[in-house]
């Protein structure tokens, strides 16, 4: 990985307003995926998928994809590879793959939903901290909608690797919903 890009990304993921979307989130994705044969495009998509994060913005993924494009162009990447990274980053918004190789990036991003309950709960608390400007009522409503939208899907995970996490993630989401009742 290019050193100057890595330094810039590290600074971004250590911004003080981040509590869940941090360098730890990226490290966790890379760690749980360490035995997977990830292409360079997938690794850059992991690094860039939350590079720009403002909980008040609805364009974080689009902004992050643009940043990835600029950064990768600056180190001489081919446009076709840049476009693939951009699309993988954009796919993390809907958590549905539309580009080749997006499926495992999405599964790695969603893998935290299948964490052991104490870690899942810690992540939930940290996401709440990133949205401290939102009222408790609105945050709970939004979280319920988010979780239910995943539970209503036929699948949360898209790869064979991720399929092993499906039931645990569903259990966590159902438990979280029950806790909010």
Q: How far is CA 104 from CA 8, 16, 69, 87, 136, in A?
A: 24, 29, 20, 13, 33
Structural domains of the chain, ranges and CATH numbers in brackets: 3-180 (1.10.3210.10)
Q: What is the pLDDT of residues 128-145, one digit of tens each?
A: 999 999 999 999 999 999
Q: What is the pLDDT of residues 72-95, one digit of tens each?
A: 999 999 999 999 999 999 999 999
pTM, whole model, 2 decimals? 0.96
Q: In the predicted model, is pLDDT for residue 100 greater than 90?
A: no
Q: How far is CA 14 from CA 10, 31, 53, 132, 154, in A?
A: 6, 18, 11, 18, 35
Q: In the predicted model, is pLDDT for residue 8 greater than 90?
A: yes
Tell me what the mean pLDDT of segment 120-130 comes to.
98
């Amino acid at each position: 990985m290019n050193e100057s890009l890595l330094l810039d990304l590290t600074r971004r993921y250590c911004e003080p307003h981040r509590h869940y979307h941090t360098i730890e989130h990226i490290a966790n994705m890379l760690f749980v995926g360490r035995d997977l044969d990830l292409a360079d495009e997938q690794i850059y998509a992991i690094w860039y998928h939350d590079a720009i994060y403002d909980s008040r913005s609805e364009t974080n993924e689009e902004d992050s994809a643009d940043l990835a494009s600029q950064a990768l162009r600056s180190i001489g990447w081919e446009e076709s590879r840049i476009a693939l990274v951009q699309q993988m980053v954009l796919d993390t918004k809907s958590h549905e793959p539309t580009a080749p190789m997006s499926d495992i990036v999405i599964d790695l991003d969603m893998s935290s939903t299948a964490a052991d309950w104490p870690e899942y709960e810690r992540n939930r608390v940290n996401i709440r901290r990133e949205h401290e400007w939102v009222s408790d009522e609105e945050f709970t409503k939004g979280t319920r909608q988010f979780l239910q939208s995943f539970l209503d899907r036929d699948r949360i995970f898209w790869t064979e690797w991720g399929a092993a996490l499906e039931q645990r993630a569903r259990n966590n989401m159902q438990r979280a919903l029950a806790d909010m009742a």
